[in-house]
Amino acid sequence: MGPVALAIHGGCGVMAKLDLSEEEWVAARADLARALAAGWAVLRAGGPALDAVEAAVVVMEDSPHFNAGYGAALNTAGAHELDASIMDGASLSAGGVTLATRIRNPVKAARKVMEAGDAVLLGGPAADDFARSAGLAMVEPDYFTTPRRVQALAAMKAHRAAGTAAKASEAEKHGTVGAVALDGRGHLAAATSTGGYNDKPAGRIGDSPIAGAGTYARDGVCAVSGTGKGEYFILHAVGHEVASRVAYLGESLEAAADKVIRGDLAEVKVGAGLVAVGADGSIAAPYNTDGMFRGWVTPQGETFVASHAEVFRV
């Protein structure tokens, strides 16, 4: 068995310290640690990277502290439209759902889409129907709603009316969760899930459900999950771009990830971040905003979580 490694994110830009109370910051970091523990338990037992990233993302989808599943953002019509994807680096197969409204854990539906093999991406009512037929837990749309997201939607609408949307805090705008893993057999996987951004147009689809943009994994190279303004992740094919720089230019994972996040996207003034795991167990977690909810477990089993510059050992 080779080295194993795991990294997660809970969204970038969150991130003015005053946006949350100290208790809320602590609770969010605790849920990051729980997500890492869920994924790491799979890897430590010799399980596959796919199971590890799914397990980690499910914990964050069930947490109110992140913009995915329970606690997801509301679109301009005050509704939830959820996106998720998962990718297997061994086979380069992927699955995703978009514009889902009733799937409790969209990442589980993405996994089912991948395994069914008839499509890479299912959207809208068809995604909900597919998840239901696959036996996944379904909920009423208001299950996902939290007071914080209602307040954020109102704040974004006020910014838009005043022409100050560009000055909104990152907490008022968007967020995403994701996980990447390397298992003991050398296989890589990535998964990403989001509610999109607050006050997004109805029917908007971001990068999180799109393989090669917000989610990408290729054995022997790396696995990537991104967070930020999804339109730019699509246009820059961020996940694939990071992997390509590693595979074709021979860059280290850290250099490739930094070039894309702190170079390409920063140059066009896009707040962004990602987590990535390399085929050798290396981990990268760059961001160009004030902060990013993130965490990782090294091949030595050391666990860390962070939201800003300070990194906490768990």
Active-site hit among 98, 145, 176, 215 = 176
Closest by CA position to 193, among listed 242, 227, 218: 227
Q: Can you tell me the distance from the alpha carbon of 135 to that of 296, in angstroms, rounded to the nearest whole number?
A: 31
The C-alpha angle with vertex 53 and arms to 47 and 58, in degrees rounded to 5, equals 115
Closest by CA position to 239, among listed 269, 263, 273: 273
Six-digit token pair at 42?
Answer: 């799979």
Task: Say whether 176 is catalytic.
Answer: yes
Contact between 302 and 257 (Cβ < 8 Å): no
DSSP string, 129-194: HHHHHTT--B--GGGG--HHHHHHHHHHHHHHHHT-GGGS-HHHH---EEEEEE-TTS-EEEEEEE
Backbone φ and ψ for 199, nearest 5 degrees, come out as 70, 25
Closest by CA position to 35, among listed 52, 15, 13, 11: 52
DSSP string, 6-68: EEEEEEES---GGGS-HHHHHHHHHHHHHHHHHHHHHHHTT--HHHHHHHHHHHHHT-TTSSS
Closest by CA position to 181, among listed 4, 6, 3, 1: 6
Residue 277's SS3 state is strand
Contact between 61 and 123 (Cβ < 8 Å): no
Residues annotated catalytic, as ranges = 176
